A and B are shown apart, each in its own frame.
Chain A
Amino acid sequence: MTETTISASGLNLTFQTNDGPVHALKDVNLEINKGDFVSFIGPSGCGKTTFLRCIAGLEMPTGGQISVNGMTPDEARRARAYGYVFQAAGLYPWRTIGGNIKLPLEIMGFSKAEQDERVGRVLDLVDLAGFEKKFPWQLSGGMQQRASIARALAFDADILLMDEPFGALDEIVRDHLNEQLLQLWARTEKTIGFVTHSIPEAVYLSTKIVVMSPRPGRITDVIDSPLPKERPLDIRDSAEFIAVAHRVRDGLRAGHVDD
């Protein structure tokens, strides 16, 4: 029996701006099970990042219910239930890669020995062993983003929230990181929420694809992927993959009828 990790029902969020209220999220209902890899895809302004931030307790919904690990998002944040990866790596330039990964560990009060052990372990996970003493500027953009993933993994939260983590990287690096991310997910069995603009990326990575559309931000389709858990890169040429991609594209187009 699968257990629900994240559950949203009737979720609404309205921002008050100078141009009047903006409905960032309208009546969003979603269940995410433990161990799911869920992608949120949609055009700019569809609320996918806002929804992720609601899960993280960084935004307060103005209506509806949302729970994370059976708690409110704010309680979950205080309980350090998730690691968050931003679009930019956001490593501190004055800390080495190892020092950056230690940042959450220092804040959460892990012992020195435990910090060192964890830094070594997560650097292995993201394939950056040996880069502990380098400064961020000595690494490529893709390596920096991997380091920021390692930082989010370091304190063993069982949820990983990723907001377009590979959006700023070129396609070759992105393919490589997608493959690595799937391996990492298989090894750590985390629940992952992943925001993206890219249809192939969403289909390749996810067990569940949430298609969203803007004005107001809402869910238009939720697709449970029929693809197997084991996914080599060339699965993207298979008929099943193309069929899922098709359905995502249709969902995105349906959200645009009123434009």
Chain B
Amino acid sequence: MQVMTVRFDKLGVVIAAIIAYAAFAAPFATFRANRIVPGEARSILDSLPAAVGPLLLAILVIAAIIALLKTPLVLRLAASVIALAALAILIGVAGSFLTPEGNTFARISPASGFWLLIFAFTLLLADVLTRLNLSPWARLGGLVIAALAIGLLLASGSWNSLSILKEYANRADSFWAEGSKHVTLALGSLAAAVVVGLPLGILCHRVDKFRAGVLNVLNIIQTIPSIALFGLLIAPLGWVATHVPGAAALGIRGIGAAPAFLALFLYSLLPVVANTVVGLAGVPRAANDAARGMGMTDRQRLFGVEFPLAFPVILTGIRIVLVQNIGLATIAALIGGGGFGVFVFQGVGQTAMDLVLLGAVPTVAMAFAAAIILDAVIEMTATKRRVETA
């Protein structure tokens, strides 16, 4: 007689436990009579129309069982994607269902159970994706599909009854204005750091005397807390604005975006310069000798041999800077530099958490997307390099 053996997936046990707690014990949505009063918790069955609540519970239970047992990766992928999609669509349904007819003050927001479910299924998805070992292009494709799906949900208006989007509706214009400031700060300071940092890194690589000095100074800049560095640049820039003709016309002012830009630029220099130095130092001696033997000039060697070989390491530095800058740009709001931090700090000041989310969610999403994109690009350049040098 054959004995059926049920084998459990170790991570699946953890995930299934989180799902069970989040689905049956934790609140799914929070109902508040207005924006800042404390909320009342609502379970899945209370937040959704009669037939839909049990349907969601059924989906969650099936997905939890798939996670719990040792199942094929494709099945696990499908379970996590379907559960995440169901949660994303149904939280919007819960929003409209819980909002009393014609009431514009009531606020519905996702509660801890919803976030835990999202966390559990993201964990499952991350595990599947790691095990599938996707190619860089497939990862980029996945990112595009996820972005499109979220864009579609936003455009369809199915989330409009949720509190965070009500905060957005009140501030739609300033949201996009602050968003573009945020992106300009993060990308502009990165571009400036690359333009200055690459030559500086090459100089450090070629001239030993510079290396220790430059890297020490850049290291010390990193130890200055960001809010202090932002503040300290106010004075010199204010002086430049009033004493250098034309500087004020260029938008250089003591407070606002200029000190924030400069501070982000200064923080960005170390990873760019250090990785350029490390990348160039890692170029195999044989490659350099061969290039010299072929009669290449110093400049040809730099651009034809050293630079392409060091490129993946330099890109890693750029990835660090970009993710870090997107996060740090939130602090610019403290000195009037704008960016999504404006909503975060306003929200903290008013204890309006939906406003905090309005600032924090796009920041996290951008940093996350930037990390995925640059990781994929780094892997592509690194494999290309291996193929070429093999």
Whether chains A and B associate is: no
Using a CB–CB cutoff of 8 Å, the interface residues on chain A facing chain B are none
Q: Which residues of B contact A (CB under 8 A)?
A: none
